């Protein structure tokens, strides 16, 4: 499935890329051959969503959360933690978030109760109030920044909700904490937990390899997509969840990204990229930002006809691998 996906995208990429290249092919080739180091590297920033204060099999909250922080430190990467107050408004949760703040990471708003704006029973007023409920909870942290991440990346199922909340965010001085690379780390994590609950010392090398490969594929695919859409290298934002998988595998994922030529950057730097000033006029709104842009551009169907994450793909692959 993935091969088709990449192949299709590559064909599209080479076709579309001509629109953005000014040099004739021969000259362009020459430039690449003589100064290969001038080739721009893709950049990626790391963000975390939600917030979990539970102990994990074999690891206390302090231990597993501390491991995420040290992985980030090792790469000198400052992340944004998009926090859900309802999950973190406890002595443990507040102390944990304080650790992130004191390690130089930023904190963004992810609502208090994690509702979906696309749910027909979630009104615009309720959603605004849920944002406002989280705001004073997060305001106690000095690195709280004016960025909002929509739960489930759902930005509204109607024009009224979509435009109403966009206007509200603007009035509050907030920007959308867009995502250009997302995977199913939450699903991998749930299956990892199943294994580790049975035996917290179980060998998890296969899970690690799968987690790394899954995110690398997503990163490379979305970087090709961004190049098709913009004709340049953008500053990507990766969405991960605050969970055991990140604690155990983030350093391997970051190593793999660096080995593949990615540059890890600070999350606030990523949002300086002008691509994030655009608000796609799609409905239902939201999802991965690059997908929304390709839907708006009318090329979504072509690009995602063979998308690897079709219904059941991940489950079938993980079943097959015994994960």
Distance CA 175, CA 58 (A): 38
Task: Give 220 or 243: the residue with its C-beta nearer to Zn ion.
Answer: 243
Exposure of 317 by Cβ count < 10 A (0-12 exposed, 13-18 middle, 19+ buried)?
A: middle
Closest approach of Cβ 14 to Zn ion, in Å? 36
Which CB, 42 or 177, lies closer to Zn ion? 177
Q: Does 85 engage in binding with Zn ion (CB under 5 A)?
A: no
Tokens for 15, please give them.
């076709």
Binding residues for Zn ion, rule CB under 5 A, total 3
Applying CB under 5 A, which part among 44-52, 119-127, 181-189, 281-289 lies near Zn ion?
44-52
Closer to Zn ion by Cβ: residue 182 or 223 = 182
* Nearest alpha carbon to residue 123 among 131, 172, 170: 131
In the complex, which residue's CB is closest to Zn ion? 49
Residue 50 in the binding site for Zn ion (CB under 5 A):
yes
Q: Minimum distance between the CB of residue 27 and Zn ion, rounded to whole angstroms? A: 47
Residue 154 CB, nearest approach to Zn ion (Å): 10
49 binds Zn ion (CB under 5 A): yes
Euclidean distance between CA atoms 98 and 240, whole angstroms: 19
Q: How far is the CB of 272 from Zn ion (least distance, A)?
A: 24
Smallest gap from residue 49 Cβ to Zn ion (A) = 4
Residue 151 interacting with Zn ion (CB under 5 A): yes
Select from 291, 318, 310 the least CA-distant residue to 4.
310
Beta carbons within 8 Å of 232's beta carbon, 6+ residues apart: 20, 40
Looking at the Cβ atoms of 42 and 151, the one nearer to Zn ion is 151
Residues across the chain: 323
Q: Is 112 helix (H, G, I), strand (E, B) or coil?
A: coil
251 binds Zn ion (CB under 5 A): no
Q: Which is nearer to Zn ion, 50 or 309 (CB)?
A: 50
185 binding Zn ion? (CB under 5 A):
no
* Residue 223 contacts Zn ion per CB under 5 A: no
Convert residues 274-293 into a mask of x (bound to Zn ion by CB under 5 A) and - (unbound): --------------------
E strand or H helix at 181: strand 181-182
Q: How far apart, in whole angstroms, are the C-alpha atoms of residue 224 and residue 121?
A: 37
Task: Give me the least distance between CB of 114 and Zn ion, in Å please.
Answer: 6
Q: What does the alpha-carbon distance between residue 70 and residue 192 come to, in Å, rounded to a whole number? A: 21
Residue 177 vs 280, nearer CB to Zn ion: 177
Close Cβ partners of 158 (under 8 Å, ≥ 6 residues apart): 283
Angle formed by the axes of helices 205-230 and 244-259, to 10°?
A: 60
Please, which residue, 43 or 149, has the CB nearer to Zn ion? 149
Which positions lie near Zn ion, rule CB under 5 A?
A: 49-50, 151
């Amino acid at each position: 499935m993935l091969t088709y996906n990449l192949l299709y995208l590559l064909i599209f990429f080479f076709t579309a890329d001509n629109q953005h290249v000014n040099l004739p092919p021969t000259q362009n080739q020459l430039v690449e051959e003589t100064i290969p180091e001038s080739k721009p590297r893709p950049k990626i920033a790391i963000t975390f969503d939600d917030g979990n204060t539970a102990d994990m099999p074999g690891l206390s909250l302090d231990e597993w959360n501390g491991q995420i922080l040290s992985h980030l430190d090792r790469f000198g990467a400052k992340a944004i933690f998009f926090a859900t107050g309802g999950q973190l408004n406890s002595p443990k949760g507040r102390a944990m978030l304080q650790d992130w703040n004191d390690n130089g990471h930023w904190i963004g708003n992810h609502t208090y109760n994690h509702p979906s704006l696309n749910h027909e029973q979630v009104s615009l007023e309720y959603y605004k109030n849920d944002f406002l409920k989280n705001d004073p909870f997060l305001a106690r942290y000095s690195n709280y920044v004016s960025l909002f991440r929509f739960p489930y990346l759902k930005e509204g199922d109607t024009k009224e909700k979509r435009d109403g909340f966009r206007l509200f965010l603007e009035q509050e001085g907030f920007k959308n904490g867009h995502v250009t690379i997302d995977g199913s780390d939450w699903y991998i994590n749930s299956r990892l937990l199943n294994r580790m609950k049975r035996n917290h010392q179980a060998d998890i090398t296969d899970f690690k390899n799968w987690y790394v490969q899954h995110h690398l594929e997503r990163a490379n695919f979305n970087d090709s997509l961004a190049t098709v859409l913009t004709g340049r290298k953008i500053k990507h934002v990766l969405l991960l969840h605050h969970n055991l998988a990140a604690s155990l595998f983030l350093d391997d994922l970051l190593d793999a990204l660096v080995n593949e030529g990615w540059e890890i950057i600070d999350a606030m730097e990523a949002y300086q990229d002008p691509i994030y000033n655009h608000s796609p006029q799609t409905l239902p709104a939201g999802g991965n930002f690059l997908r929304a842009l390709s839907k708006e551009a009318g090329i979504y169907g072509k690009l995602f006809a063979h998308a690897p994450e079709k219904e059941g793909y991940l489950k079938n692959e993980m079943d097959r691998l015994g994960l």
